[in-house]
C-alpha cells in the first residue's frame, strides 16, 4: 500500500546530534562544524537537553545522531536516560562502525532501531562516496545488530553518483534481514557544497529520473516485506504544498546549542531556538520561522534559495511543478 505520510501535530521528532566528530569523511556530509560546533556534549548536558524536549513533547521520537553517535562514550547512558524520560521511540543513526561495543551496552527494549547508512550495493559504489572499507564495516554491523535482536533500518542517500545502483538494494536488504528501508534525497548542504566539481557529481537527480526509479525500487522492497519510505520531493499537479516548519514539530539539535526546525536551513544561522544556560529560548528575528509562511509558486522557499537546480520552468516562466517540503514522505508497505 502506498500513502503520503501527512505531517502530524500529535507526535514530535527530536533529531539530537550529540557530537559532530566522525571517523568517516563522506563526500556529501551535511555536518558543518562552522555552523554546528565541534563539541562533544557531556552526559550531564545531554541529560538536561533530553529533559527539555521530553517536557515540551512527551513521547517524542528521538533520533540520536552525530557525526557518528557511537563514538560518544556515553551513548548507552543517553539511551537509558531517554527511555526513563518517556521518549516514544529511540533510534540510533550510525555509519555502521558501532564503536564502544554499543550493541552490548543497550537492549532492543531500549533502542527501537539501529539505522545504518549505506550508499551503494557494493564497495565499488559505496566506498568512493563514504570511505574505503565502509561497505564491509557497515554490512558486518547489520548482522551483528540483528543477531542481538535489534530492529535494523537502512538509509540510502540518492544522488547522480549512485541512483543507477539503487535497484540492486531490495534483494540485499532482504538477504540481510533489514526491517525498514529509507531512501533519502541528497541535500545540497554541508561544506562540500563549496566545491563546484563535487556539486556536479553529487547533484540531485532530475524529476523524471526520480519518479522513474525511486517508487519502483520502493515497491520492490515492499514486495519483499520491507516497509519503505522516500521523500516526495516533487508535488503532483493539484497537490497542496505544506511547510513542516508551520504544521509539525521537528527539532534538529546541534552541539553548539542551535535548534533548527528545518534541515535546509542548517548551513545558516537561521535557527529558531537556542539552548542557553540549559533553557530553550527563541532566537531574535530574522530566522527560519520568518521564511516558513512565505508562499512562492515553486513550493518550498528554502529549496528555492539553497538548491534551485531541481526546479524547472514550463516555458512561460511558470514553474513546471512545485517542490515539496523535504520532510514530506511517501511510504510503501508490504
Nearer to ligand SF4, 228 or 287 (CB): 287
The answer to whether the CB of 91 falls within 8 A of the CB of 121 is no
Nearer to ligand SF4, 178 or 326 (CB): 326
Tell me the closest approach of the beta carbon of residue 287 to ligand SF4, in angstroms: 12
Tell me the closest approach of the beta carbon of residue 78 to ligand SF4, in angstroms: 17
Which residues form the interface with ligand SF4 (CB under 6 A)? Answer: 22, 24-26, 29, 31, 66-68, 95, 243-245, 262, 264, 291-292, 300-303, 325-327
From CA 325, how far away is CA 224, in angstroms rounded? Answer: 29
Nearer to ligand SF4, 22 or 85 (CB): 22
From CA 251, how far away is CA 11, in angstroms rounded? Answer: 12
The owner of cell 535489534 is 150
Tell me the closest approach of the beta carbon of residue 105 to ligand SF4, in angstroms: 20
Tell me the closest approach of the beta carbon of residue 27 to ligand SF4, in angstroms: 9
Nearer to ligand SF4, 220 or 267 (CB): 267
Cis peptide leading into residue 67 (ω within 30°): yes
Output the CA torsion sign for 61, 65, 70, 73. negative
| Burial tier of 187 (Cβ tally within 10 Å: 0-12, 13-18, 19+) | buried
Nearer to ligand SF4, 9 or 25 (CB): 25
DSSP, collapsed to helix, strand or coil, labels residue 279 as strand
Tell me the closest approach of the beta carbon of residue 95 to ligand SF4, in angstroms: 4
Tell me the closest approach of the beta carbon of residue 171 to ligand SF4, in angstroms: 24
From CA 163, how far away is CA 124, in angstroms rounded? Answer: 14
Nearer to ligand SF4, 52 or 264 (CB): 264
Q: Residue 89 pairs with which residues in a beta bridge? A: 61
Instruction: From 125, 134, 137, 116, select the one nearest 163 (Cα to Cα).
Output: 125
Nearer to ligand SF4, 46 or 244 (CB): 244
Instruction: From 160, 116, 163, select the one nearest 135 (Cα to Cα).
Output: 116
H/E stretch holding 143 reads: helix 134-147
Tell me the closest approach of the beta carbon of residue 120 to ligand SF4, in angstroms: 13
Amino acid at each position: 500500500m502506498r500513502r503520503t505520510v501527512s505531517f502530524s501535530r500529535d507526535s514530535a521528532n527530536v533529531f539530537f546530534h550529540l557530537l559532530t566528530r566522525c571517523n568517516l569523511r563522506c563526500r556529501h556530509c551535511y555536518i558543518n562544524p562552522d555552523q554546528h560546533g565541534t563539541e562533544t556534549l557531556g552526559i550531564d548536558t545531554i541529560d538536561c537537553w533530553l529533559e527539555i524536549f521530553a517536557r515540551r513533547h512527551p513521547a517524542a521520537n528521538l533520533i540520536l545522531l552525530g557525526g557518528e553517535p557511537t563514538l560518544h562514550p556515553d551513548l548507552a547512558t543517553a539511551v537509558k536516560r531517554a527511555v526513563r524520560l518517556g521518549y516514544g521511540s529511540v533510534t540510533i543513526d550510525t555509519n555502521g562502525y558501532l564503536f564502544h561495543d554499543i550493541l552490548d551496552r543497550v537492549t532492543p527494549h531500549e533502542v527501537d532501531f539501529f539505522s545504518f547508512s549505506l550508499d551503494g550495493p557494493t564497495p565499488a559504489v559505496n566506498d568512493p562516496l563514504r570511505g574505503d572499507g565502509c561497505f564491509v564495516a557497515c554490512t558486518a554491523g547489520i548482522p551483528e545488530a540483528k543477531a542481538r535482536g535489534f530492529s535494523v533500518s537502512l538509509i540510502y542517500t540518492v544522488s547522480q553518483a549512485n541512483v543507477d545502483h539503487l535497484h540492486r538494494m531490495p534483494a540485499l536488504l532482504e538477504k540481510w534481514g533489514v526491517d525498514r528501508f529509507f531512501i533519502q534525497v541528497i541535500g545540497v548542504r554541508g561544506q562540500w557544497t563549496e566545491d563546484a566539481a563535487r556539486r556536479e557529481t553529487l547533484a540531485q537527480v532530475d524529476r523524471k529520473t526520480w519518479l522513474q526509479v525511486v517508487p519502483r525500487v520502493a515497491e520492490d522492497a515492499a514486495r519483499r516485506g520491507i516497509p519503505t519510505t522516500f521523500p516526495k520531493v516533487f508535488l503532483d499537479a493539484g497537490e497542496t504544498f505544506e511547510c513542516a516548519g508551520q504544521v509539525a514539530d521537528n527539532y534538529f539539535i546541534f552541539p553548539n546549542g542551535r535548534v533548527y526546525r528545518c534541515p535546509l536551513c542548517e548551513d545558516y544561522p537561521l535557527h529558531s531556538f537556542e539552548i542557553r544556560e540549559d533553557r530553550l529560548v527563541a532566537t531574535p528575528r530574522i530566522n527560519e520561522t520568518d521564511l516558513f509562511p512565505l508562499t512562492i509558486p515553486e513550493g518550498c522557499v528554502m529549496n528555492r534559495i539553497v538548491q534551485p537546480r531541481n526546479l524547472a520552468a514550463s516555458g512561460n516562466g511558470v514553474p513546471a511543478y512545485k517542490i515539496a517540503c523535504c520532510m514530506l514522505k511517501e511510504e510503501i508497505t508490504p
